Amino acid sequence: MRSRHGLGLGAFLWACWPAQAQTIAVDVGHYLEKPGAISARGKAEFDFNLELAQKIAQALQAKGFEVKLVGEHGRMKDLKARTRAAAKADFFLSVHHDSVQPRYLSEWEFEGASRSYGDRYSGFSLFVSRKNPQLAPSLECASALGSELIRSGFKPSRHHAEPIPGENRTYADQANGVHYYDDLVVLKTARQPALLLEAGIIVNREDELTLSVPATREKIAAAVATALDVCTSKTD
Ligand SMILES: [Zn+2]
């Protein structure tokens, strides 16, 4: 057995990681009353998040994980209630779909209604918080997920790194699309390693169409399951 003596903080945290993470909390971002971003065709982010979270739950279960869905009923208004509900989980994954800053939005008409869209940016983003007590394994899993998504044909969006108000999110792992977002409430109040996935940009008209295809959800869910399977079983 390897001595823990002299290990850095990240390695020490890995040494404390259970041999097999049994439960993944899958948090469905937002709730029915305030459903998050509205897509270019008028569909609420919560609905995208729920569909993807359910697919992710199935893929994780197929890998042998237990899954605790959080907020799937659409009534969870308190962000801290989400991490409390997930207190016993080994990992916390928050599932979201993205928008862009208002300056990048334009108007178009879809099915008789005026809608906002922004096609300038496309792709996924991942976030971890330096205020989470388990940053090293959070980042390890975020990087693994970014890498797996890229391998599956997805691309990280760069819009959260843009030096403008509301963005300016420092990269934790630029190649794999991972940013620091220290004050994201679910990430900083989670006691276990945590990451937030923005699966794609639903105000982008192309991204929305891609994200609406069941096969896309399957691919993203498979990437999540593969990445978490690898990163949560890593021991040193
Ligand atoms: Zn969201």
pLDDT the model gives residue 12: 58
Classify residue 196: in a domain, yes or no.
Answer: yes
Which pairing describes strands 66-70 and 23-28: parallel, antiparallel, or unpaired?
Answer: parallel
Instruction: Report which of 92, 117, 113, 121 is spatially closest to residue 21, judged by C-alpha positions.
Output: 92
pLDDT the model gives residue 8: 60
What residue numbers bound the domain in which 220 lies? Answer: 19-231
pLDDT the model gives residue 5: 46
State the distance from the centre of ligand 1 to the C-alpha of 141, rounded, in angstroms: 20
Q: How confident is the model at residue 233 (pLDDT cuts 50, 70, 90)?
A: confident
How confident is the model over 28-81, as pLDDT tens digits?
A: 999 999 999 999 999 999 999 999 999 999 999 999 999 999 999 999 999 999
How confident is the model over 213-231, as pLDDT tens digits?
A: 999 999 999 999 999 999 9
State the distance from the centre of ligand 1 to the C-alpha of 6, rounded, in angstroms: 40
Tokens 């105000």, located at residue: 203
Cβ neighbours of residue 3 closer than 8 Å, sequence gap 6 or more: none
Range scoring the smallest mean pLDDT among 21-25, 149-153, 193-197, 201-205: 21-25
How confident is the model over 82-128, as pLDDT tens digits?
A: 999 999 999 999 999 999 999 999 999 999 999 999 999 999 999 99
Helix (H) or strand (E) holding 187: helix 185-189
Classify residue 151: in a domain, yes or no.
Answer: yes
Q: Cβ distance 53 to 95 under 8 Å?
A: yes
Classify residue 13: in a domain, yes or no.
Answer: no
What is the C-alpha separation between 148 and 64, in angstroms, rounded? 19
More confident residue, 203 or 235: 203
Q: Residue 83 class from Cβ within 10 Å (0-12 exposed, 13-18 middle, 19+ buried)? A: buried
State the distance from the centre of ligand 1 to the C-alpha of 50, rounded, in angstroms: 11
219 phi and psi angles, rounded to 5 deg:
-65, -40
Q: End-to-end CA distance of the chain, in Å? A: 11
Tell me how far CA of residue 95 lies from CA of 3, 69, 111, 164, 230, in angstroms. Answer: 37, 11, 28, 24, 19
Mean per-residue pLDDT over the chain, rounded: 92
Q: Which tokens is 3 given? A: 């001595």
**CATH number of the domain to which 78 belongs:** 3.40.630.40
State the distance from the centre of ligand 1 to the C-alpha of 36, rounded, in angstroms: 5
Helix (H) or strand (E) holding 114: strand 113-117
State the distance from the centre of ligand 1 to the C-alpha of 187, rounded, in angstroms: 13
Q: Cβ distance 223 to 217 under 8 Å?
A: no
Classify residue 3: in a domain, yes or no.
Answer: no
Classify residue 2: in a domain, yes or no.
Answer: no
What is the C-alpha separation between 215 and 185, in angstroms, rounded? 31
State the distance from the centre of ligand 1 to the C-alpha of 33, rounded, in angstroms: 13
Classify residue 200: in a domain, yes or no.
Answer: yes
pTM of the model: 0.90
State the distance from the centre of ligand 1 to the C-alpha of 45, rounded, in angstroms: 7
- Number of domains forming the structure of the chain: 1
Q: Cβ distance 194 to 132 under 8 Å?
A: yes
Helix (H) or strand (E) holding 194: strand 194-201
State the distance from the centre of ligand 1 to the C-alpha of 196, rounded, in angstroms: 9
Classify residue 5: in a domain, yes or no.
Answer: no
The vertex-123 CA angle with 172 and 27, nearest 5°, equals 70
Q: Which tokens is 134 given? A: 């388990």
Classify residue 7: in a domain, yes or no.
Answer: no
State the distance from the centre of ligand 1 to the C-alpha of 98, rounded, in angstroms: 6
